[in-house]
């Protein structure tokens, strides 16, 4: 049985030129229980490091999420669970039918892969020739990993249990030649590259848990090809890194220092993935592809602006998450889904998302009205950082109730300490909202009283009136501005909310 796997990052070539060769080497992988291949660079012979990058330019993380669109959760679900990575529908896997001249999908994918492999080797012959010099020792790998892990944890406070330094030292090691020559490793390497170099993710065939026998036979046929097989073995032996048993990161001795750090940021991020997130992403149309996309999206938040500016590894995967997910939800929600399993922050239609919403928040879809009311009172408050330093949400207020829940009070205390204490020029405005249960007039009044309750919470926390905007006549929207679909318990919980806006410089911003 195969588990979701990690990174085969772009081939880091070393040739005498300074150009960057664009090639589609950006796959995602699913690993075996024993070994998980990193989708990392392949190390090539000669002197000057040259990253053979994926065929998508480095994307920025600057965007304006459409966090006010109540259909956004449905759009995320359709993008990940209905459509393929390219946006179409899964195509059927066609079996060969020689009598009618049908080669079949497996033969088509095999030929597509071999053609792409020939093009890659023709463009960069040193990928299969020459000698790779030593650029990474075990000590260097460990030191870089410890620093990378510190950067990851500094970026993501959502990580609740850090890896001890001793564990990181034990996790990181140098690849031995015997590890890259066994058939399991070669199959995993090939699976990653197929996802990157062919249309395999567009077809309806199971590649994991367990894989379809037709898929496994296709892998065997590629490795048995007299031209492709030897070249696959050479390229696999130059894999920059791989993960073994989900518990070790092996780096190639030829990995250069700058690439070493980026590989370790990406791979150590994998180590913090929540099991709930793994279960959720495994139900998408392309688990390998999206696992790497989410990991790369978060890894780039850890990288420096200079590193991101030239980063093209996992380009298609990153772009898919940018377009299908990050357009609709804040980065904080993506991090909470990935590190804490709160995948219902991204969509709430899949079975895993519904189950986790019930277990983590404490509300059940389809419960009787009196149970709904009771669970809305006993369930956890939901908080959201829409934009750090600017906009926040306090959600899942109790039905027909105004008072903040303990989670809301604790979250406001964090905001107060970060942005209000010692900053008298920073002011706050609360805006109340309601779901669609009840009449419009009732909901309008309820949303006003919710805003009033949050202004009082701020006063109780010691925020002076001089920092409270519109406290005497709180802005309120009733049911008119939903942030989610009122047809579901998940959507109604998110719509029963109060939003907080920070205003800086003593100038009252217009009403949001």
Q: Where are the domains of the chain?
A: 3-55+130-272, 369-503
CB 222 within 8 A of CB 190: yes
So what's the pLDDT on residue 94? Answer: 97
Can you give the length of the chain in residues?
512
Task: Classify 444 as helix, strand or coil.
Answer: helix
CB 367 within 8 A of CB 358: no
User: Average pLDDT of 22-49?
Assistant: 35
Q: Which long-range contacts does 113-118 make (Cβ < 8 Å, 24+ apart)?
A: 113/193, 113/194, 113/197, 113/198, 113/222, 113/228, 114/222, 114/225, 114/227, 114/228, 116/24, 116/197, 116/198, 117/197, 117/228, 117/231, 117/232
H or E segment to which residue 502 belongs: strand 497-503
pLDDT of 348 over the 80 cut: yes
Peptide bond into 210 cis (omega under 30): yes
pLDDT of 33 over the 60 cut: no
So what's the pLDDT on residue 507? Answer: 53
pLDDT of 44 over the 60 cut: no
Token pair 């020939």 in the structure block, residue: 118
If one looks up domain 369-503 in CATH, what number appears?
Answer: 3.30.1330.60
pLDDT of 3 over the 60 cut: no
Of 27-31, 209-213, 435-439, give the range with the top mean pLDDT: 435-439
pLDDT of 391 over the 50 cut: yes
Please, is 507 exposed, middle or buried when counting C-beta atoms within 10 Å of its C-beta (0-12, 13-18, 19+)? exposed
So what's the pLDDT on residue 86? Answer: 87
d(CA 314, CA 27): 7
So what's the pLDDT on residue 14? Answer: 34
* CA distance readout (Å), 261 to 131, 149, 299: 23, 10, 11
User: Would you place residue 190 in the very low, low, confident or very high pLDDT band (cuts 50, 70, 90)?
Assistant: very high
Token pair 């990157």 in the structure block, residue: 196
Q: 201-213: per-residue pLDDT in tens?
A: 999 998 877 899 9
246: left (phi over 0), alpha (psi -120 to 50) or beta: left
Q: Considering the chain, what is the average pLDDT of its residues?
A: 86
Task: Give the phi and the psi of residue 341 in degrees, each rounded to 5.
Answer: 80, 15
d(CA 103, CA 96): 5
User: Would you place residue 313 in the very low, low, confident or very high pLDDT band (cuts 50, 70, 90)?
Assistant: confident
d(CA 394, CA 19): 50
User: Average pLDDT of 468-486?
Assistant: 97
Q: 242-259: per-residue pLDDT in tens?
A: 876 567 898 999 999 989
User: Average pLDDT of 352-368?
Assistant: 94
So what's the pLDDT on residue 176? Answer: 84
pTM for this model (two decimals):
0.84
Residues above pLDDT 90, as percent of the chain: 71
| DSSP-based helix, strand, coil % in the chain, nearest 5 | 45, 10, 40
User: Average pLDDT of 488-506?
Assistant: 94
Q: Which range (14-28, 51-65, 174-188, 358-372) has the least confidence? A: 14-28
Q: 414-431: per-residue pLDDT in tens?
A: 999 999 999 999 999 999
d(CA 273, CA 295): 9
pLDDT of 89 over the 50 cut: yes
- Burial letters for 224-237: b for 16+ Cβ neighbours within 10 Å, e otherwise? eeeebeebbbebbb
So what's the pLDDT on residue 39? Answer: 42
CA-closest candidate to residue 293, choices 265, 320, 253: 320
pLDDT of 35 over the 70 cut: no
Q: 108-160: per-residue pLDDT in tens?
A: 999 999 999 999 999 989 888 888 899 999 999 999 999 999 999 999 999 99
Strands 203-204 and 91-92: parallel
So what's the pLDDT on residue 37? Answer: 39
d(CA 94, CA 195): 18
């Amino acid at each position: 049985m195969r588990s979701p796997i990690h990174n085969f990052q772009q081939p880091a070539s070393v040739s005498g030129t300074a150009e960057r060769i664009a090639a589609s080497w950006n796959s995602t992988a699913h690993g075996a229980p024993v070994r998980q291949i990193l989708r990392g660079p392949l190390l090539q012979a000669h002197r000057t490091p040259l990253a053979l990058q994926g065929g998508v330019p480095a994307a920025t993380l600057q965007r304006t999420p459409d966090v006010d669109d109540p259909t956004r959760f449905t759009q995320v679900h359709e993008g990940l669970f209905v459509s393929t990575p390219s946006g179409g529908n899964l195509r059927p896997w066609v079996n060969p039918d020689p009598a009618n001249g049908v080669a079949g999908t497996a033969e088509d994918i095999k030929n597509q892969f071999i053609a792409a492999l020939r093009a890659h080797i023709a463009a960069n012959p040193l990928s299969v020739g020459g000698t790779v010099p030593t650029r990474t020792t075990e000590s260097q790998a460990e030191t870089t990993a410890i620093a990378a892990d510190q950067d990851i944890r500094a970026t993501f406070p959502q990580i609740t249990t850090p890896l001890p330094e001793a564990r990181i030292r034990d996790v990181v090691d140098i690849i031995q030649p015997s590890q890259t020559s066994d058939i399991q490793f070669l199959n995993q390497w090939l699976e990653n590259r197929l996802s990157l170099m062919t249309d395999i993710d567009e077809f309806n065939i199971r590649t994991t848990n367990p894989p379809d026998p037709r898929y496994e036979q296709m892998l065997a046929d590629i490795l048995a090809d007299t031209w492709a097989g030897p070249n696959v073995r050479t390229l696999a032996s130059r894999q920059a890194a791989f993960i073994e048993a989900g518990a070790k990161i092996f780096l190639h001795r030829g990995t250069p220092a700058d690439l070493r750090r980026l590989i370790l940021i990406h791979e150590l991020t994998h180590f913090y993935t929540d099991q709930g997130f793994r279960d959720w992403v495994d139900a998408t149309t392309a688990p390998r592809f999206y696992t790497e996309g989410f990991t790369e999206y978060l890894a780039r938040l850890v990288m420096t602006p200079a590193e991101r500016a030239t980063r093209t590894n996992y380009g298609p995967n990153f772009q898919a998450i940018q377009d299908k997910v990050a357009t609709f939800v804040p980065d904080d929600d993506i991090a909470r889904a990935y590190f804490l399993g709160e995948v219902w922050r991204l969509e709430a239609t899949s079975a895993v998302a519904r189950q986790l919403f019930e277990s983590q928040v404490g509300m059940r879809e389809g419960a009787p009205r009196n149970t709904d009311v009771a669970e809305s009172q006993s369930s956890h408050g939901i908080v959201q950082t829409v934009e750090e330093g600017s906009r926040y949400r306090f959600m899942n207020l109790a039905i027909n109730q105004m008072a903040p829940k303990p989670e809301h009070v604790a979250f406001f205390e964090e905001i107060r300490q970060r942005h209000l204490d010692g900053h008298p020029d920073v002011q706050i405005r609360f805006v109340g909202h309601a779901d669609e249960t009840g009449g419009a007039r009732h909901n309008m009044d309820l949303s006003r009283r919710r805003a009033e309750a949050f202004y009082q919470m701020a006063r109780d926390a010691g925020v002076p009136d001089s920092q409270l905007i519109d406290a005497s006549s709180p802005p309120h929207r009733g049911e008119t501005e939903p942030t989610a679909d009122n047809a579901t318990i998940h959507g109604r919980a998110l719509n029963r909310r109060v939003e907080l806006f920070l205003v800086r410089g003593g100038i009252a911003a217009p009403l949001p």
